[in-house]
Amino acid sequence: MLETLPQNITALPFFDEGHASLASGLNDWAHSNLTNRVHVGDVDALCKKLVKQLGQAGWLQWCVPQAGGGALPALDSRSLCLARQTLGYYDGLADFAFAMQGLGSGPISLFGTPEQQAKYLPAVAKGQAIAAFALSEPEAGSDVAAMTTRATREGQNYRLNGIKTWISNAGIADFYTVFARTECDDVDGVTAFVVDADTPGLTVSERFDVCAPHPIGSIEFSDCVIPATQRLSEPGRGFKVAMQTLDVFRASVGAAALGFAQAAADMACTRAQNRPMFGTTLADLQITQAAIGQMATEIDAAALLIYRAAWQRDVLRQRTTKTAAMAKLFATEAAQRVIDRNVQIHGGLGVKVGHPAEMLYREIRALRIYEGATEVQQVVIARETMRQQQGDMK
Ligand code: COS
């Protein structure tokens, strides 16, 4: 149905040979194993199956560092982005399954003790444990620091109370990385924890549907007692744990959007060249060529921003708050435009429920919201730009 993913991206100077072989190996696997992006049926079962499949095939090794059974010594942004771009090209749910293994365990990979890493990461890499990231709350989404979930220290334990919502994998996760307030009411009072899904006092309080179905819901902590050994990093460091984890994964959200956009552009080209119209084909109409020209340019611009941010983190080892925000902002907004144009090129078929063009239209929307909405990225970019400009003036 879909054409194969263009491989020439890894010829750019951002990549090494390992990246080229990851991209082509995963592309071959996905081409054979992810043959339909439109899923029907029990989304929990589908997602569990995809995690298992990705784990068995070895692809989840790029979600964790070597110490936890991963492929490379540390999380590699370029590999995460290539994997999400490739999976996103074939199947949004497969990309979701991969991404949540990485994001949900990301705070453990980045900040966990060797014991915490050994306890959780190998199972994540094999697809034997499902991870989730529990940051947002009903009254604290974009404004994370407004969270009210509380973890109270009691001797060797913490007692958690509160509600987290918009939690992907709620209900199927084996553990949640959770951010809760332990101290003062500002950003310095947040601490990160790992909470096993079967801990008494932790319940999945709600499940809901979203336009591109995946497991998602709310979880509630009601006098949920966990040992202090489940704390990640120091008390009061949780906000930075969350932000630094998001810095890694935000560029990869852009990469998933890039994969979606490439799928849409391929479909648009195929459709335009095969659709007879006005005695010629749709592709011969200059108005279609204008659309395809714009799509291709936006796709390449998104790719360059994504891999610039990933390369900056991996190779220059710099903080990528600004460049990752730019990559996520541009790639998700551009993908929305590309996917919308593909719907237009497909005419009525583009809105037919169950058609891949319609599926992509539903799949892209959430990426402009989750892991920091477009408007949050704009704020982050503006702040960093002004901070840099102030620094330059000194
Ligand atoms: N890396 C490291 N430290 C960071 C950081 C980053 N990327 N971003 C902020 N910090 C630090 C700041 O340096 C500051 O530290 P000091 O107090 O030591 O100076 C501290 O964290 C607080 O930062 P800031 O003042 O920017 O906090 P705000 O509450 O104003 O943060 C935004 C605002 C919008 C940036 C933040 O709330 C955010 O990213 N929101 C979106 C959250 C999100 O993605 N939600 C989706 C959940 S996952 S689906």
pLDDT digit string, tens, across residues 261-275: 999 999 999 999 999
Q: Are residues 249 and 338 located together in one domain of the fold?
A: yes
Number of domains in the chain: 3
Q: Is 224 a member of any domain?
A: yes
Question: How far is 264 from 37, CA to CA, in rounded Å?
Answer: 12
Of residues 270, 374, 287, the one with CA closest to residue 329: 374
How far does the centroid of ligand 1 lie from the alpha carbon of residue 182, in Å? Answer: 17
Q: Are residues 357 and 251 located together in one domain of the fold?
A: yes
Q: Is 4 a member of any domain?
A: no
The pLDDT, as a whole number, for residue 8 is 78
Q: Are residues 207 and 289 located together in one domain of the fold?
A: no
Among residues 234, 333, 371, 384, the one annotated as catalytic is 371
Residue 350 tokens read as 């583009």
134, 179 contact by CB (below 8 A): yes
Q: Are residues 45 and 124 located together in one domain of the fold?
A: yes
Question: How far is 45 from 52, CA to CA, in rounded Å?
Answer: 11
Query: Where a domain ends, among 98, 115, 130?
Result: 130
Q: Is 145 a member of any domain?
A: yes
The beta strands (E) that lie in 210-258 are given as: 216-227, 231-232
- pLDDT surpassing 60 at residue 188: yes
Q: What is the DSSP string of 282-309?
A: GGGSHHHHHHHHHHHHHHHHHHHHHHHH
- What's 110's domain CATH number? 1.10.540.10
Give me the domain span that covers residue 148.
Answer: 132-236
Of residues 224, 233, 15, the one with CA closest to residue 107: 233
- What's 209's domain CATH number? 2.40.110.10
User: Is 375 marked active-site?
Assistant: no
pLDDT digit string, tens, across residues 204-261: 999 999 999 999 999 999 999 999 999 999 999 999 999 999 989 999 999 999 999 9
Please give the DSSP secondary-structure letter assigned to residue 328.
H
Q: Which atom of ligand 1 is nearest to the CA of 166?
A: 49
Pocket, ligand 1, Cβ cutoff 6 A:
135-136, 142-145, 187, 239-240, 243-244, 246-247, 321, 370-372, 376, 379-380
How far does the centroid of ligand 1 lie from the alpha carbon of residue 383, in Å? Answer: 11
